[in-house]
Amino acid sequence: MLYEIILIYFATGALAGFVSGMFGVGGAFTMAPILIIGLPLQGVPENHVMHLSVGTSLAVMFTTSAYVAILRYRIGDLQLPLICRFVPYIVIGALAGSLFGDFLPGDVLKAIFIGFLI
C-alpha cells in the first residue's frame, strides 16, 4: 500500500507542477482531489482531510509558483509593477479565506471546493 501511495503522490506532484508551469494555475485543482482520496487511506481522520489537503496543496503551489515566477522574470515575462498592485489585496484575501476556512467543517469546505471545480 505504501508504494502505491508514493507512486500516486509522485504522479500527482508531477502533474501539478506541469499544469502550474504550463498554464500558470496552481496545482491545487490537481492535488487536492487526490489528497482527499489518499489521506484517508493513510489513516488521517476524515475531519482533518480537507484542511490538510488544502494546506498541502497551498504549500506545493507556493513552491511551484515561486519557481515559475523566477523563470518568467528572467526571460522578461513578468511585470513587477503590476504584481505589486495585486499583492496587498491577495494578502488580505488569503488571510480572510484562511480565517474563514478554519471555522468551516471539512465537509462544508469540501462542498465549496467542489463548487469551484465545477
At residue 104, the 3 state secondary structure works out as coil
pLDDT greater than 70 at residue 62: yes
pLDDT at 100 over 80: yes
If phi > 0 it is left, if psi is from -120 to 50 it is alpha, else beta; for residue 43 that is: left
Task: Evaluate if pTM is beyond 0.75.
Answer: no
* CA–CA distance, 93 with 108 (Å, rounded to integer): 19
Q: Is the pLDDT of residue 32 over 80?
A: yes
Contact residues for 97 (Cβ-Cβ < 8 A; gap 6+):
none
Q: Which three cell numbers stand for residue 74?
A: 528572467
Is the pLDDT at 115 greater than 90? The verdict is: no
**Is residue 29 predicted with pLDDT exceeding 80?**
no
In this predicted structure, the answer to whether residue 24 has a pLDDT above a threshold of 70 is no
Weakest-pLDDT range from 33-37, 64-68, 79-83, 96-100: 64-68
Q: Where are the domains of the chain?
A: 2-117
Quick check: 45 and 108 in contact, CB under 8 A?
Answer: no
Residue-level pLDDT at 26:
65
Cα gap 86→99, rounded to integer Å: 20
C-alpha cell at 64: 511551484
CA-CA-CA-CA dihedral for 49, 101, 63, 36, to nearest 10: 20
Residue 84's pLDDT band (boundaries 50, 70, 90)?
A: very high
Query: What pLDDT does residue 116 have?
Result: 79
